[in-house]
Amino acid sequence: MAKATKSTSARRDAQAHIEMLRLETPFHPRLEALSQQNDWYTWAGYKAPLSLWDEELEYFAIRSQAALFDISPMVKYRIEGPDAEAFCNRLTLRDVAKLKPGRVHYTAWCDENGHVLDDGTLFRLSADRFRLCCQERHLPWLMDSAIGFDVEVEEETETIAGLALQGPTSFAVLRAAGLDGVERLKPFDLATFPHKRGTVTISRTGFTGDLGYELFVDARQALSLWDRLMEAGRVHGIRAIGYTALNRARIEAGFIVANADFVTAEHAVRADRVRMPDEIGLGWMVDREKGHFNGRRAILKAREKGALRHVLVGLEVEGNVPAEHAIVYHKGKREVGLVSAAIWSPTAKRNIAIASLDRPYGDTVTDDLWVEIYAMRELRYVKLMKRARVVERPFVKLARRSATPPGDF
């Protein structure tokens, strides 16, 4: 009897992860202490803040100070071995042979039908070691893709903690934290720096279109890194922020989010919801000269046959009411697409949107586009039919993002 009780409790202990419906990231104790809003959402199974104290001011921390954002829930894989480059080249769209050690590139990967499975960043930590960061989990896909390659794939989402430090004073914060050499990092460079008894990997990357860095550290060193940055950043206006503020910055930068701006191939239930790279603005990644990669045949065939049906565009909408999830019309009548993300941009001072349109609209036919915005005004929808213009992304282009050496604000 006693034995049975013991085994039951042991079993229950081993299942603690089931009871914990939302995991906490290694930075959670600090976020929780700062959270005045108690405004959380679920990001890939983790508890993450939408805002901590004031979403407006958090946004302005990104654009005028330094914003610290916990990216630990981002899915991370270590890809290592003699065939790591060949593996990544077959897996993803861009030419990984051109990605030098110490560099990062933004890429995407597809299934055999050429439909995008996810987009993400590929970090080349050394000649034969990579880190792939993305939105969705892909371990079975990566393991099956490893057949025939001398490569090891390991999920490190839980063991590696990540922070994004973004904003004009982000470099100043890092320098003040004693991370010497960060000034040499050009956009998409990465390097390793000592932290405590271990190291922190810092890349000049981010999701805001601003000057900024991403820091990856062993989860056990997470809190000490957080404290180090907050301490150093005090005089540089460092603030912890939530996703609402970051989302605004990323829309301004014109970045897309998987399963928000497009549906990934493994999530799509409806046959027409999947997208090829060319249909979500990622056609430029497809490198037809580099050799075989997943989806190559299908993508090239679709291009050749003119079978691409959608296009993702940036829109500028008249007025100042965000057109979120508005239907897009041609000549105010024909339904041609949907807005997936929209805000009034405080930095661009424009009403901007990211939309998916059915070709040829947005591709060759770009005139006379309208969006229909339903604005709820005291229990009544005010329907606004607003003119929309296809514009270049990013909507906000900041010189400080790419200036090297980085500005010391």
Partner 1 sequence: MTSFDDIVIGGGHNGLVAATVLAKAGRKVLVLEAEDETGGAARKHEFHPGFRVSSVAHVLNRLHPDVVKALELDRLGLTLEGRTMPTIALAPDAGPVVLRGAYGETVDGLSLSDAAGWAELRALLFRQVGVLKPLLARRAPDLEAMSLSEKLALGGVALSLRRLGKEGMRDFLRMLLMNVDDVTGEFVENDALRGLLAFDAVQGSHLGPRSPTSLIGLYFRLAGEIGGAEGGQMLPKGGMGAVIEAMHAAAERRGVTIRAKAPVSRILIEKGRAVGVVLADGEEIRARTVVSAINPRTTFADLVGPRELDTGFLRKILNVRMKGNVARLYLALDGVPSFAGVAADDHAGRLVIAPSSNAVENAFNPAKYGEFSPEPAMEIVLPSLSDPSLAPGGACVLSANVQFAPYALKGGWDKGKPKFLKAIVAQLERCAKGIGKTILASELLTPADIEARFRMPGGHWHHGELQPDQMLMSRPVFGAGGYDTPIDGLYLAGAGSHPGGGVSGVPGMNAARRVLAEK
In the complex, the residues that contact partner 1 under the rule CB under 8 A are 86, 90-91, 111-113, 141, 144-145, 147-149, 291-292, 294-297
Q: Minimum Å distance from CB 89 to partner 1? A: 9
Q: Minimum Å distance from CB 224 to partner 1? A: 39
Alpha-carbon distance values, 392 to 15, 225, 396 (Å): 50, 37, 10
**Which string of DSSP letters, residue by residue, matches 107-144?**
EEEE-TTS-EEEEEEEEEEETTEEEEEESS--HHHHHH
Q: Minimum Å distance from CB 80 to partner 1? A: 18
Nearer to partner 1 among residue 112 and residue 180 (C-beta): 112
Nearer to partner 1 among residue 72 and residue 92 (C-beta): 92
Q: Are 166 and 229 in contact (CB under 8 A)?
A: no
Q: Minimum Å distance from CB 297 to partner 1? A: 6
Q: Minimum Å distance from CB 138 to partner 1? A: 10
Nearer to partner 1 among residue 111 and residue 368 (C-beta): 111
Phi, psi of 274 (to 5 degrees): -70, 160
Radius of gyration of the chain (CA): 22
Nearer to partner 1 among residue 145 and residue 208 (C-beta): 145
Q: Are 46 and 125 in contact (CB under 8 A)?
A: no
Which residues are annotated as part of the binding site? 214
Q: Are 225 and 198 in contact (CB under 8 A)?
A: no
What angle, 0 to 180 degrees and rounded to 10, lies between the N-to-C axes of helices 55-64 and 243-253? 50
> Quick one: how far is CA 104 from the chain centroid?
14
Q: Are 213 and 174 in contact (CB under 8 A)?
A: yes
Q: Minimum Å distance from CB 115 to partner 1? A: 10
Nearer to partner 1 among residue 186 and residue 301 (C-beta): 301
Alpha-carbon distance values, 215 to 49, 86, 101, 202, 315 (Å): 19, 26, 17, 5, 32
Which residues are annotated as part of the binding site for substrate? 214
DSSP state of 22: S
Nearer to partner 1 among residue 73 and residue 295 (C-beta): 295
